[in-house]
Structure 1
Amino acid sequence: MLLEQERRDASRTARRLAAEGLAHGGSGTVSVRSGDLIAVTPAGVPLDRVEPADCPVLSLEGGVLEGRRGPAADTTLHIAVHRCTAIGALVQAPGEHAAAVSAVLSELPPVHQAAARLGGAVPVAGYAAYGSGELADQAVKALKGRSAALLACLGGAASGPDADRAYENMRLLEWLCGVYTRSRALGAPRVLSEDELAEVRRRDAEGWAGPDPFLPC
């Protein structure tokens, strides 16, 4: 069986999306890449029931090479993103908070320092029907230089070097959207600057280096 591990990863991630409520109504798509091939979740199977053997394997040109089921409708988007980037996995899901923010904003501002892990402000791709080439083009543009993007009136997408990281980035995106909607209800949220986000990235890279000698006693 082609891409046995990648199919297991796609299946396991799909079940995690369903278990944590990130894929309401059973919708959502996961793809995992190995070389010039990708394993993607199938059409017509609820995410909480996806088995590795259900996940078809496709080439980056879009041809189905193996699988007992057809690929999910948004596979066009996934193939486009994989062709244009060096990611290992892409997770797409209509989380409640992500869907709400994507329906209103043109960009999710960085109101928490954790946004630095996704690249800062999260762009919202223009609306297009799911499964369409237009949506795929919009997603590729929105994900450029970012680990996550919102898809207008649809939800979010997050990438990573592997399925686990892509899933965690999707969870983080959903959490950040929730933080924004709650803070916006209280007033005008404070938005972190690029310099402040750069400092967060620097600290994430360096880790703890001991107490600051300039702190007052």
Structure 2
Amino acid sequence: MLYEKERQEVVDTCLFMVKENLVVGTAGNVSIRIGDHVVISPSGVDYETMTAEDVVVYDMAGNHVEGRLKPSSELPLHIAVYENTDAAAVTHNHAVSSTALGLIVDEIPPSHYYSAMFGGIIRVAPYAEFGTDALAENVARALDGRSGALMKNHGAITIGPSLSKAVNLLPILEYVCEIQLKVMATREPIALLSDEQIESAVAGMANYGKQPALDQ
């Protein structure tokens, strides 16, 4: 089976999203880019029963390569992201707070320095019907220079150099959205970070979690 390891990684990531309450039912999708190929979760398959064989492989032109099931309806979205960014993996979900916040803002104001983990202020891509080229284009623009975005009337998306890095951003994005919703509900003035403070945080986050090499 082609890309067996990566296909299992997609399954494991889908199960992680279920465990973390980041998806409802079979909503959401996951993919990995390997050269000219995209390994992507299938459409409408229960994550709890999904196997590596259920995960499918397509090329960057949208042509079927391997797998017996239909790909996620968001295959065009994943391909567009790969064409317009240097991402090697994409995770998309429909978690409650990120979906809710995307209904009322066009960007997430810089109320928490975690925005720096996504490259700065987090944008909300304008609505377009799921599975369409229009949605793919909107989201690709929202991700310009960013590792995460919201999708109006839809959900959220994160990208990264690996699937683990991409999916680990989803709970953080959900946290940022939940905080913003709660403070907005108070109707009190919200303390925001300045452009300079966000830029400084972005620079700081570039080395976040990196440990110096140990002497051998």
Fold shared per TM-score above 0.5 = yes
Match of 1:212 in 2: none
Please identify runs of 4+ aligned residues in structure 1 that moved more than 6 A.
none
Match of 2:202 in 1: 201
Match of 1:20 in 2: 20
Match of 1:46 in 2: 46
Task: Give the TM-score of the pair, scaled to structure 2.
Answer: 0.92
| Counterpart AA for 1:193 | S
Contact 2:43 / 2:73 at 8 angstroms: preserved in 1?
yes
3-state SS of paired residue (1:26): coil
How far 1:26 sits from its partner (Å)? 2.3
| Counterpart AA for 1:153 | N
Match of 2:156 in 1: 156
Describe the shift of the 1:184–1:42 C-alpha distance in structure 2 as closer, same or farther (beyond 3 A): same
User: Matches of 1:202 and 1:60 in 2, distance apart?
Assistant: 32
How far 1:159 sits from its partner (Å)? 0.3
How far 1:170 sits from its partner (Å)? 1.4
3-state SS of paired residue (2:68): coil
Write the deviation string for residues 106-163 of structure 1: whole angstroms up to 9, x where unpaired: 1111211111010111111111111111101101111110000110010100001111
User: Matches of 1:164 and 1:127 in 2, distance apart?
Assistant: 27
3-state SS of paired residue (1:201): helix
Match of 1:83 in 2: 83
Alignment of 1:175-214 (within 5 A): 175-186=175-186, 187-205=188-206
User: Matches of 1:100 and 1:61 in 2, distance apart?
Assistant: 33
| Counterpart AA for 1:13 | T
| Counterpart AA for 1:31 | S
User: Matches of 1:138 and 1:202 in 2, distance apart?
Assistant: 27
Match of 2:35 in 1: 35
How far 1:49 sits from its partner (Å)? 2.6
Structure 2: gaps of 5 or more residues? 210-216
Structure 1: gaps of 5 or more residues? 209-217
Number of residue-to-residue matches in the alignment: 208
User: Matches of 1:167 and 1:190 in 2, distance apart?
Assistant: 28
Contact 1:42 / 1:54 at 8 angstroms: preserved in 2?
yes
User: Matches of 1:72 and 1:17 in 2, distance apart?
Assistant: 16
Match of 2:212 in 1: none
3-state SS of paired residue (2:53): helix
In percent, how many aligned pairs have the same letter? 31
How far 1:205 sits from its partner (Å)? 4.3
Task: Give the TM-score of the pair, scaled to structure 1.
Answer: 0.91
Q: Does 1:11 align with 2:30?
A: no
Q: CA RMSD in A?
A: 1.5
| Counterpart AA for 1:24 | V
Higher relative helix content: 1
